[in-house]
Amino acid sequence: MRDHEPIIIEEFNGLWKRGDSDSCPIDHWPDCNNVKFIESGFETRDGIDTFFNAANIRRMYNFTTEAGESLLVWVSGGFIYHLVPSTGDIFLVLQINDMTDFGFVAISGRAYITPFLTNADGIQKALDNEFVYVYLADGNSARKAAGIAPTGTPLVAVQSATAGFNDIGLHIIAVVYETDTGYLTPPGPAVFAQVTTTDGTKRIDVSNIPIPPGAEVVLKHLVATKVIPVFNGDQAGFQFFFIPNGDVAVGATTKSVSFYDLDLLDDASHLIDNYTEIPATIGLTLYHDRMVAYSTFDDISLALVSAVGEPEAISQVDGLVVIPLDGNPILNAQEYRDILYFWKKTRTFAVPDNNDEPSTWKPVTLDQGFGATIHGIATVLDSGGINVDFILIANFTGILIFNGAYSLPELTWKIKDLWLDIDFTDFENVQMLVDSIRQIIYINLPNDIILEGDYSNGLDPKNIRWSLWTFDIHTNTIALINNNTLLIGSENV
């Protein structure tokens, strides 16, 4: 050792898993376990403590409500719970026995939930005869999103003896329910009211207005056509409008209204085509204040897009976007730079909003080699997937930066062998979070490993520093709460 010249390592740059051991640079380690990085060095990672005591936690999402941060937690057996850390309250939200995972999006303090399963081949599929659910964050169970049209005996409308006004002629009148989430149902009941007025100085009396069976309906509205010169017998084939001052209390069965055709301005005809029950999908996202549900049981390349500001109002005619068919389901979706992007496992598609109905939007195939996995869009803190001006995407190749195009080489270039060792059928367990405050990427991998990527020296393949974190618990899922507190969902209590 007398003539040995020591090698000074100014900075330690983390894990190297690429090629044989001789290819490992002097400032990296081929084994780097349970460390976190500090300026020019490293130290032991933080320990863990119990946050919420439950068995078999399989999936967690941060759910921000008007009251603050909380969690949606799915445990084995198909149970989804709402956990409120600030109060310690735990509410059972939903139970679906056949689900093995669920998609989620928060809108206006409500949680929209869609159940799906991953089969033995690692392929995700929406559940047949299941639906998108809405949870109001009030401790009560989730219910199906949207709602059915009013039902009951035929609606009745007659010329009133009371003074008022109307345009003489035939009008068709129906009832629309409004739910506690603001959703407006299709008109009902099955038989609308028909009234032919002969005196323009009288009101119209409507009776047999149905009473809704569920507590979710908070208001009823009367809708009507303008005067119909020739009636062809198709009661739903005419344009309907909300009658001014036509609101009806939930428990009321009669209403007297006056209106001229010129007063009928607020169109209600589009409600006829809306889904009364939104079919379950693989995932949910937001785009231009619309809810987007993608990959149904019957149509794995179909996306359902709601009306603006009405997440539960999805037209069965105008709210459909078909992504090019290739036999694979849509696995993910995200808005970026005013464009809605969809990902299959090896495909990327861009769908711009043309300010017309979603059915007229034209998908563009952006990349035929790179796609994303089911949970492969990184969640940034407690929000969506956009960090500054990029999206981090996990796919079979590695972790890629996406800014409208993919940047190569991949962020996981240093640990390529580690990444390629992941079984393709295990990618449903790959989940990625970004702590943009501490500049850390957390990636939950199969086999009870969390991959930590510290990008405080730069978010690029050369400067990012990787470390493996292992535990004596099964690491099924991860979430961030309180801005950047990492939570790990485990099978262990």
Task: Give the tens place of pLDDT for each residue, 11-51.
Answer: 899 999 999 888 999 999 999 999 999 887 899 999 999 88
| Rounded Cα–Cα distance for residues 72 and 103 (Å) | 11
Segment 274-301, tens digit of pLDDT:
999 999 999 999 999 999 999 999 999 9
Residue 84 has pLDDT above 60, yes or no: yes
Q: How many domains does the chain have?
A: 1
Q: Does 387 score more than 60 pLDDT? A: no
Please, are residues 205 and 160 in contact by the beta-carbon 8 Å criterion?
yes
Average pLDDT, the chain: 93
CA 234 to chain centre: 37
Give the DSSP H or E segment for 71. strand 68-75
| Per-residue pLDDT tens digits for 454-475 | 999 999 999 999 999 999 888 9
Residue 313, pLDDT score: 97
pLDDT digits (tens, 9 = 90+) for 184-212: 999 999 999 999 999 999 999 999 999 99
Is the residue at 169 inside a domain?
yes
- Does residue 272 register a pLDDT over 80? yes
Whether 191 and 208 have beta carbons less than 8 Å apart is answered as no
**E strand or H helix at 176:** strand 169-179
- Nearest of 294, 318, 317 to residue 304 by alpha carbon: 294
Does residue 115 fall inside a structural domain?
A: no
Residues 214-246: tens digit of each pLDDT: 899 999 999 999 999 999 999 999 999 999 999
Task: Give the residue among 336, 337, 347 at the shortest CA–CA distance from 301.
Answer: 347
Q: Residue 492: is its pLDDT beyond 70?
A: no
Question: Alpha-carbon dihedral of residues 58, 127, 353, 343, nearest 10 degrees?
Answer: 60
Domain residue limits at 204: 156-271
Q: Distance between CA 183 and CA 176 in Å, rounded?
A: 10
Report in angstroms the alpha-carbon separations of 447 from 350, 392, 422, 468, 473: 34, 22, 9, 12, 10
Q: What is the pLDDT of residue 54?
A: 75
Question: With pLDDT > 70 as the criterion, what percentage of the chain qualifies?
Answer: 98
Domain for residue 48, yes or no?
A: no
Q: Looking at the domain assignment, is residue 230 inside a domain?
A: yes
The verdict on residue 229 lying in a domain is: yes
In which band, very low, low, confident or very high, does the pLDDT at 399 lie, cut at 50, 70 and 90? very high
Residues of the chain with pLDDT > 90, as a percent, come to 83
Does a structural domain hold residue 433?
no
Query: So what's the pLDDT on residue 385?
Result: 56
160 located within any domain: yes
User: In this model, does residue 388 exceed pLDDT 60?
Assistant: no
- Position 53 scores a pLDDT of 79
Q: Is residue 112 part of a domain?
A: no
